[in-house]
């Protein structure tokens, strides 16, 4: 007698959403545009003096005030909140591309301004401030942009139940995990980044 062979469950390989590449490309294009725009505009004496004072205040560490905490929190929560709100718009994909394009432009413009004003010192200050911020903000913003995309897979029964559980876990992840990670980034920037910048500036001088 032939043994009846049960069909093996097909392994579903995780696929990378192609939108990730478009969002990343938009961010990179914005960064390139910000760099060349800053190079074309140049840095005048007033902006150079302001950026020099900014680097000195950052490296000195100062007292954390409510205004400084609010400004850092706004810098961390701004892009993820805008990305989340864009999910409710029509053609959300294009809105997300625009947000990443603008964020890449602004970030690159700020880094280029510090580099042109302070030279190697500006590079270190940019790495300390914007590098740490980018590690927290960009992955969460990309994840939020992907959460709003409809799934292309169709199914019924158990598949529909699993998809419902996945969507519920995604909502919980947004409600609890993402704000907590961003709050951790705010604490890191307020406490450790000034010390890191002071060490970098001391090390280079």
pLDDT, tens digit (0-9, with 9 covering 90-100), for 63-117: 566 667 888 899 999 999 999 899 888 888 999 999 999 999 999 998 888 888 8
Q: Is residue 70 part of a domain?
A: yes
The whole-number pLDDT of residue 156 equals 41
Q: How many domains does the chain have?
A: 1
Q: CA of 117: how far to CAs of 36, 51, 111, 185, in Å?
A: 15, 7, 10, 27
Residue 190 reports pLDDT greater than 70: yes
pTM above 0.75, yes or no: yes
Higher model confidence: residue 154 or residue 10? 10
Distance, C-alpha 166 to centroid of its chain: 23
Residue 116 lies in a domain: yes
Rounded percentage of the chain residues whose pLDDT exceeds 90: 30
Q: Which long-range contacts (CB under 8 A, 24 or more apart) does 199-205 make?
A: 200/124, 200/125, 200/127, 200/128, 201/55, 201/59, 201/121, 201/124, 201/125, 204/120, 204/121, 204/124
Q: For residue 105, give its domain range.
A: 19-149+165-204
On average, the pLDDT of the chain sits at 78
What pLDDT, on the 0 to 100 scale, is given for residue 116?
A: 84
Assigned domain for 6 exists: no
């Amino acid at each position: 007698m032939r043994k009846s062979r049960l069909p093996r469950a097909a392994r579903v390989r995780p696929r990378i959403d192609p939108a990730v590449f478009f969002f990343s490309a938009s961010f990179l294009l914005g960064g390139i545009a910000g760099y060349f725009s800053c190079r074309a505009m140049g840095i005048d004496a007033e902006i150079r003096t302001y950026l020099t004072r900014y680097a000195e205040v950052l490296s000195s560490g100062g007292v954390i005030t409510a205004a400084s905490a609010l400004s850092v929190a706004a810098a961390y929560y701004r892009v993820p909140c805008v990305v989340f709100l864009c999910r409710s718009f029509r053609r959300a994909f294009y809105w997300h591309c625009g947000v990443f394009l603008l964020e890449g432009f602004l970030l690159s413009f700020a880094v280029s301004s510090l580099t042109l004003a302070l030279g190697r010192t500006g590079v270190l200050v940019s790495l300390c401030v914007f590098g740490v911020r980018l590690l927290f903000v960009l992955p969460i913003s990309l994840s939020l942009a992907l959460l709003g995309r409809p799934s292309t897979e169709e199914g019924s029964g158990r598949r529909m139940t699993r998809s419902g559980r996945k969507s519920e876990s995604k909502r919980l992840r947004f409600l609890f995990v993402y704000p907590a990670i961003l709050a951790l980034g705010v604490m890191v920037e307020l406490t450790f980044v000034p010390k890191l910048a002071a060490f970098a500036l001391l090390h280079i001088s």
